[in-house]
Chains A and B, each alone.
Chain A
Amino acid sequence: MQNVVFAEPFNIRDRLAELGLEEGPLLDAIRQGYVAFISCTDNHPPFSKGLIAWAETVRALRDYLVPAGWRRSDQKNYSMVVEPAGRLAIVVATGDDGTGRSETTPSTKAPKGPSTIDAVVINRQLSLFVEPELVLSGELPSEDNDDRETWFLLVHRSQGQVRCELSLPLSMGPDGYINGWKERIILGPITLDGDVFDVNPPAVPDITIPIERRL
């Protein structure tokens, strides 16, 4: 597959600028999704964390772009944000471990369970994020808009970092995975501190206050 990877800072900046984008705000949107993710507690339904993170990322992305003239589109429950001229759209999805690595070909996150395609197909995009067991028969949603490129903002949370990229998918296998990209713009990564840490306050001496009895 044709695969142009932008991984150098200047190239990234210039290519994003052509698309009317900047790296900083895109990373902020991903951070905002990550904070939503880590703000979930054990009392949240387990599957909902990824959904909440995704939704918050979509919202943050729109918060960034809609004031700049982009518009949101939720046609067929496929949530995207479309640039003013309508030639470019961005959707948000969780990527697999290849996300953000220039030397590999990423895909949307691998399925975890047996096929639940019937349920998943009802909401294609949600499935891409949460249960990406999706058969798209090689075709991406285009909202009756044949000349619109649909870019994926792929986000992958891993130990110590969130890797991400803005990429233009070109092909999909019959299993529903994107298996080829026309362009990939590597963003970030966002570096995290580990989940586990200890707090060790330094030893501070006790204060002894002299009290003297008057006679």
Chain B
Amino acid sequence: MSQVETFNPSRLTLARKRRGLTRVALAEMIEVDPRSVSAYENGEFSPDTEKLQQLAKVLKFPAAYFSGPDIEELSPDSASFRALSRRTAGQRDSALGAGAFALLLNKWIEERFRLPAANIPDLGRETSPEAAAMALRRYWDLGELPIKNMIHLLESHGVRVFSLAIDAAEVDAFSMWRDNTPFVFLNTRKSTEHSRFDAAHELAHLVLHRHGAPQGQQAEREANAFASAFLMPRGSVLANARRLPSVEDLIKLKKYWTVSVAALAYRFRTLKILTAWHYRTLAIEISSRGFRKREPEEAQRETSQVLAKVFASLRVDGVSKWDMADEFHIPREEVDQLVFGLATIGLSGDQKRSAQNRRPHLRVLASEG
């Protein structure tokens, strides 16, 4: 059988990583020697037509995908990954693969639309994450007001927000800079409150760690402290704090800032509203009532304004986001996943329930015939 002349090795590597597979695992799936997969990816030789069909089948990518131009790949050190220790290499590679397709989707969108430019200051030299959070609030004129919608706030300051539709508790979110454009990927399967904290955490990496600086656990601690202070600024917390609050009190209070009950308790402790034992008591109850896994009285989900507007505008022209997938020969599912929970998926043939469908949504886009 003849080899595929136009085969692009880098596209195979990307597809394999996107599926979180090792070369050995992929070789087993298509019943070849691991050496062959290495050779395909190194460009030593290309798979024959039959093997290409098998690759397409097991990786769930269209066969045409493997022949396109190079797709810009993301290296692990280009993105801020949280809790690296809890994440397997496969999960990381898969998330980075999604990131590569997000760059494609973003490029495709930006060819058609002018989106807000990045307005993210470098606050890496602030004295503390708390100070940086306040500095950013001043820079963006937010005062002490609660953040109504984290995704809209990020988007309005030029951050491209995409979904990480990965069903793995280990994967919260990640962010990166690409050609002066900041990207944030959120796991939209988490609770609204959790996702907002993730968004603020990734914002911290964008403003604090753009130029390297701290890595690993220290960077994570800084980002958490920033997120906590950014979502719950000290002044507004002190003004609304309750003395000796119970968990029930916190469940009511958290709605002021739209944060998780656990995050609010922690913030109260940081600001010394709670004593150590009181915080411990609350933390134990929050855990024992399962509130770390299932947020009580969850807030309305946040969605992307940019994606909603872009897709609405394209729809008027009879263009769907799947046209982008088809243009690059990537699975339509990849595009769906990048916008999962962020934009109404109202395109014909798409029966997937987005996370958004869990609540009535009044901004339904024009119905599909």
B238 to chain A, nearest CB (A): 13
Interface pair A210/B116, CB less than 8 Å apart: yes
Contact with B along A46-90 (1 / 0, CB 8 A): 000000000000001000000000000000000000000000000
Cα–Cα distance between A120 and B50 once the two chains are bound (Å): 86
Is A17 part of the contact surface with B, judged by Cβ < 8 Å?
no
Interface pair B246/A211, CB less than 8 Å apart: no
Is A209 part of the contact surface with B, judged by Cβ < 8 Å?
yes
- Tell me which of A34, A199, A207 contacts B149 (CB under 8 A): A207
Is A97 part of the contact surface with B, judged by Cβ < 8 Å?
no
Is A31 part of the contact surface with B, judged by Cβ < 8 Å?
yes
Residues of A within 8 A of B153 (CB): 207
Interface pair B275/A28, CB less than 8 Å apart: yes
Is B281 part of the contact surface with A, judged by Cβ < 8 Å?
yes
B204 to chain A, nearest CB (A): 20
Residues of B within 8 A of A191 (CB): 243
Interface pair B247/A199, CB less than 8 Å apart: no
- Tell me which of B156, B247, B249, B256 contacts A201 (CB under 8 A): B256
Interface pair A213/B305, CB less than 8 Å apart: no
Residues of A within 8 A of B111 (CB): 214
Count residues of A near B (Cβ-Cβ below 8 Å). Answer: 29
Is B4 part of the contact surface with A, judged by Cβ < 8 Å?
no
B362 to chain A, nearest CB (A): 13
Chain A residue with the shortest CB-CB distance to B241: A193
Segment of B41-49, B56-64, B306-314 in the binding face: B306-314
For window 238-253 of chain B, which residues contact chain A by CB distance below 8 Å?
Answer: 240, 242-249, 252-253
Residues of B within 8 A of A192 (CB): 243-244
Interface pair A201/B255, CB less than 8 Å apart: yes
Interface pair B148/A209, CB less than 8 Å apart: no
A21 to chain B, nearest CB (A): 19
Cα–Cα distance between A200 and B153 once the two chains are bound (Å): 21
Cα–Cα distance between A207 and B151 once the two chains are bound (Å): 10
For window 147-189 of chain B, which residues contact chain A by CB distance below 8 Å?
Answer: 147-149, 152-153, 155-156
B251 to chain A, nearest CB (A): 10
Is A35 part of the contact surface with B, judged by Cβ < 8 Å?
yes
- Known contacts: A31-B275, A31-B278. The answer to whether A211 contacts B113 by CB under 8 A is yes
B248 to chain A, nearest CB (A): 8
The B contact surface, by secondary structure, is helix
Is B39 part of the contact surface with A, judged by Cβ < 8 Å?
no
Is B33 part of the contact surface with A, judged by Cβ < 8 Å?
no
- Known contacts: A199-B256, A213-B313. The answer to whether A32 contacts B277 by CB under 8 A is yes
A48 to chain B, nearest CB (A): 16
B4 to chain A, nearest CB (A): 36
Cα–Cα distance between A28 and B282 once the two chains are bound (Å): 16
Interface pair A206/B148, CB less than 8 Å apart: yes
Interface pair B246/A204, CB less than 8 Å apart: no
Chain A residue with the shortest CB-CB distance to B277: A32
Interface pair B252/A201, CB less than 8 Å apart: no
Is A119 part of the contact surface with B, judged by Cβ < 8 Å?
no
Chain A residue with the shortest CB-CB distance to B242: A193
Residues of A within 8 A of B358 (CB): none
- Tell me which of B145, B149, B247 contacts A39 (CB under 8 A): B247
B256 to chain A, nearest CB (A): 5
Is A36 part of the contact surface with B, judged by Cβ < 8 Å?
yes
Residues of A within 8 A of B112 (CB): 213-214
Contact with A along B245-268 (1 / 0, CB 8 A): 111110011011100000000000
Interface pair A201/B146, CB less than 8 Å apart: yes
Residues of A within 8 A of B255 (CB): 199, 201
Contact with A along B195-236 (1 / 0, CB 8 A): 000000000000000000000000000000000000000000
Residues of B within 8 A of A199 (CB): 240, 252-253, 255-256
Residues of B within 8 A of A213 (CB): 112-114, 313
Residues of A within 8 A of B (CB): 28, 31-32, 34-36, 38-39, 60, 190-193, 197, 199-202, 204-214
Residues of B within 8 A of A (CB): 111-116, 145-149, 152-153, 155-156, 240, 242-249, 252-253, 255-257, 275, 277-278, 281-282, 285, 305-306, 309-310, 313
Q: Which 4 A-B residue pairings sit nearest by Cβ, starting from the closest? A: A212-B114, A38-B246, A204-B148, A207-B152
Other A-B contacts than A32-B281, A191-B243, 4 sampled, CB-CB below 8 A, are A199-B252, A204-B146, A209-B116, A213-B114
